[in-house]
Chains A and B, each alone.
Chain A
Amino acid sequence: MDTLALSRWQFAITAMFHFIFVPLTLGLSILVAWMESRYVATGEETFLKMAKFWGKLFLINFALGVVTGITMEFQFGMNWSAYSRYVGDIFGAPLAIEATLAFFLESTFIGLWVFGWDKVSKKTHAAAIWLVALATNLSALWILLANGWMQHPAGYVLRNGRAEMTNFFAVATNSYGWLKFLHTVLSGYVVAAFFVMGISAWHLLKKNEVNFFRHSFRIGASFGLAASLLVVLAGDFHAREVAETQPSKFAAIEANWKTQSNRAYSLVRIPDVKRERNYIDTLKIPGLLSFLAFGSTKARITGLKDIRADLRPPVMITFLSFRTMITLGFLFIILAIFAFVYSRRRELETRRRFLYIMLYAIPLPYIAAQLGWIVAEVGRQPWIVYGVLKTKDAVSSAVSPAQAWTSLAAFTVGYGALAVVDVYLLGKTARKGPDDLVAGYGAAAPAGEERP
């Protein structure tokens, strides 16, 4: 493999690994903040215990999100220096803004939250975790505006051999970036909701701390129901935007070969990429695809055959990722509805089979989130900046294949080891439950670094 292929693998591995931690951070920060606020408002100890227990899991996850995030920033320069030179004028700004606005806020106040239990008032302490939640979501906004620009470039001009920003407002209000932001943070809320419900389900099955976990489950269920409905809605808006701005990606996610108006949606479809058609194409709903894409059953949709072969993204992986993500998305709604109803009716402990399902459902929203990124990034190929710069022209010329092999191997092994430690710690902490966590304020040790 050459440096280009190696760098692409490395970016895919490091970005996907980073995005194991990000979605949980996005959602769980809000849930922990909510729990602590309930404690401040009601004075009920259960809520404090909740904030501490889920907060501890949050921190384990958060630490890896932070350290793997540094890699992402370095990598643009290390492996994609031609890209960085070409678009830095416009792409660097949202990144720097993300650091200045969000990272500082997040990392400073997480320190206060972990170590400040007896140092500030209860209200200030709860405000700290709200600021962390706000900052993580704000950071998602700016990085997705940066990514949104790669997907749908706006507010720039090609000048002096590079893309130069001419309109910051256009970059900051890029509808592609905003829709992607909504869809992404909501997917993170689904991840967090299913994480909380799944772990609660395990404890309910074991009959540990039933009251604590029944309550946690209920918070997760309400949050999860809202998030799983909204994420599909935001995804629908997002897909319409894709149909309009990235016809090649839209054609690939649907494996739509022919340009036609009044396109049907096939519930079952298996593409035959070689012959530029579909092996199986059945259970069609007339006009639905046109309607989904452009709001009219009559609308014309560009097919892959009308896109130059060298400008098409890999169809199979984009198509399958998208279909699987959508299927999972609807599954989450169904599960969340049951979860909501059972927890409202206080029937959870008797629904053992459902609790098992919720336990094993923990990884599913993670998978859906990863698939979403595959659709977004693989579906944009061969472009790194849609219509402006190709991925093959973006790689660093100074990096030798030997260097790229070394770093790829180092990341694979190093991240693999981190994953093992992370799963071990999360599993251990989650199974242990809230028993040994200090219940009150003014306790001897901060939650993060218990003294012996």
Chain B
Amino acid sequence: MIFRVIWFILWTVLWAVYFMLDGFDLGAGMLYPFFARDENLKKDILNTIGPVWDGNEVWLITAGGATFAAFPTTYALMFSYLYSAMLLLLFSLIVRGVALEFRGKAEGQNWGKTWDLAFFLGSFLAALLLGVAFGNIFKGLPMDAHGYHGSLLGLLNPYGLLAGVLFVLLFAVHGALWLSIRLPGIDKAKKASALAGRLWYPLLLAAAGFLVYTAFATHLYANYLGYPLLWVLPGIAAAAILLIKFLTLTGRDMAAFLASCVTIVAVVFTGVAGLYPDLIPSSLDPAYSLTLFNSSSSVYTLKIMTVVAVVFVPAVIIYQFWIYRIFGRTNTSGRAEKEKAAY
């Protein structure tokens, strides 16, 4: 029991960290065509995420791998039931990854334009699809003893779409804040921070709408009624969202970016705390929900995986953090310049 719960939490952590990290580079990808008109700014944006996007995406691979290892039945059914959506997600990620790596390796206007479009579309679609997928998981999938009764179009229900829009906006704000702390030069950074401030309004609207709609479209709040302490999670999410606006207004971009990180993590935890003990509820009959009891690996395997996670995940966090700091350095001078100018 205890190891199943541990892995339920680790599963959540892996997804949350993935969204927190890849969120800003997906967001930067979505804003890219609107934000950057000239080639120099485009390269600046690409250079902020170039060193880190690959490492960020591995959190997705690890979240997928951990789902496979710890909850094989959930992995098997989630990926095969959502086949067409997964295919689209795969292609979005492939296209944007290739765009990022290949754009700078040849010249020519069409070459650049093609990869720019691919980078934007891949980033936008990946964010949207991940949101739609999680929205539908919160809502539950139409599955019973006979298997799955849904379709790709069925996933695009109003609640799923709202979750998609929420993810897109969360990542867009996150991406704009990332650019505000990493773009070299005061003007660009200011422009990015102002953009984050503007995108914040629709984000607030979507987040509020999502919280309300969740009460009608899902059973997530049932756990909250049973354990009122859980309200801390959406409380943190709400406070962090408000902080983003406050901090951007007062010019503290780094703190605003961190608040955005907290927002994303808290949103994921808010949803998954409502799911517990389900990983994927059935919208037809709770007896066919995939729970941490009926879809997990054996306790032996979970123990082995716990050892691996406890030893290596902290190491990963340490060296990734180190890399983030190394690539933060040049821009600290940019930020200092900005702060000086603000006086």
Binding site for B on A (CB under 8 A): 56, 59-60, 63-64, 66-71, 73-74, 76-79, 81-85, 87-93, 95-101, 103-105, 107-112, 114-116, 119-120, 159-160, 162, 164-166, 168, 396-399, 403, 406-407, 410, 414, 418, 421, 425, 428-429, 446, 448-452
Contacts and interface: CB of A to CB of B under 8 A. Distances in A.
Main secondary structure of the interface of A (DSSP, over half): helix
A262 B213 CA distance: 76
Contacts of B246: none
Contacts of B313: 100
A95 B69 contact: yes
Interface of B: 39-40, 43, 46-47, 50-55, 57-58, 60-62, 64-66, 68-70, 72-73, 75-81, 83-84, 86-87, 90-91, 93-94, 97-98, 100-102, 104-106, 147-148, 297-298, 300-301, 304-305, 308-309, 312-313, 316, 319-320, 323, 326-327, 329-330
B75 A84 contact: yes
Contact of A77 (B51, B79, B91, B304): B79
Given A397-B147, A406-B87, A93 B304 contact: yes
Contact of B91 (A69, A105, A110, A410): A410
B308 A100 contact: yes
The interface centre, meaning the residue of B40, B62, B90, B305 with most chain A CB atoms within 10 A of its CB, is: B90
B72 A88 contact: yes
Given A84-B75, A108-B58, A119-B329, 4 more contacts: A67-B97, A74-B64, A74-B86, A96-B66
A99 B58 contact: yes
Nearest to A79: B80
Contacts of B93: 67, 70
Given A85-B72, A452-B39, A107 B58 contact: yes
B68 A100 contact: no
A403 B87 CA distance: 10
Nearest to B149: A398
B106 A425 contact: yes
B76 A85 contact: yes
A407 B83 contact: yes
Contacts of B94: 67-68, 70-71, 414, 418
A32 to B, nearest CB: 16
B72 A92 contact: yes
The interface centre, meaning the residue of A56, A99, A114, A446 with most chain B CB atoms within 10 A of its CB, is: A99
A96 B62 contact: yes
Contact of A89 (B55, B72, B329): B72
Nearest to A103: B58
A355 B301 CA distance: 53
B101 A399 contact: no
Contact of A103 (B53, B62, B83): B62
Contacts of B50: 111, 114-115, 446, 448-449
Contacts of B323: 108-109, 111-112
B87 A407 contact: yes
A114 B101 CA distance: 11
A104 B316 contact: yes
Contacts, number: 237
Contact of B147 (A63, A398, A446, A451): A398
The interface centre, meaning the residue of A110, A159, A168 with most chain B CB atoms within 10 A of its CB, is: A168
B65 A115 contact: no
A93 B62 contact: no
Nearest to B304: A168
A148 B158 CA distance: 45
Contacts of A160: 298
Given A92-B65, A418-B98, A450 B83 contact: no
A162 B72 CA distance: 11
Nearest to A120: B326
Given A67-B97, A100-B312, A425-B105, A77 B78 contact: yes
A92 B57 contact: no
A104 B308 CA distance: 14
Given A114-B50, A451-B43, A100 B83 contact: no
A232 B67 CA distance: 38
B77 to A, nearest CB: 6
B69 A104 contact: no
Nearest to A94: B69
Nearest to B307: A168
A448 B106 CA distance: 11
A68 B84 CA distance: 17
B326 A112 contact: yes
A140 B332 CA distance: 38
Contact of B84 (A93, A103, A108, A406): A406
What are the 3 closest A-B residue pairs judged by CB atoms, nearest first?
A88-B72, A77-B79, A92-B69
A104 B320 contact: yes
A85 to B, nearest CB: 4
A14 to B, nearest CB: 10
Contacts of A164: 297-298, 300-301
Contacts of B298: 89, 159-160, 164-165
Given A68-B94, A92-B297, A111-B52, A84 B87 contact: no
A96 B69 contact: yes
A136 to B, nearest CB: 13
24 contacts: A63-B98, A70-B57, A77-B79, A78-B79, A89-B301, A96-B65, A100-B309, A103-B58, A107-B55, A111-B52, A116-B326, A119-B327, A164-B297, A164-B298, A165-B304, A396-B80, A396-B83, A397-B80, A399-B83, A407-B83, A425-B106, A446-B47, A451-B40, A452-B39
Contact of A421 (B72, B102, B300): B102
A145 B84 CA distance: 30
Contact of A107 (B43, B57, B81, B301): B57
Given A66-B97, A165-B300, A81 B76 contact: yes
Nearest to B87: A407
Given A68-B94, A116-B51, A104 B80 contact: no
A60 B101 contact: yes
Contacts of A105: 316, 319
A247 to B, nearest CB: 30
B214 to A, nearest CB: 27
B94 to A, nearest CB: 4
Given A403-B83, A406-B87, A98 B77 contact: no
B65 A78 contact: no
Contact of A449 (B79, B86, B104, B148): B104
A21 B90 CA distance: 18
The interface centre, meaning the residue of A66, A111, A164, A451 with most chain B CB atoms within 10 A of its CB, is: A111
Nearest to B68: A92
Nearest to A95: B65
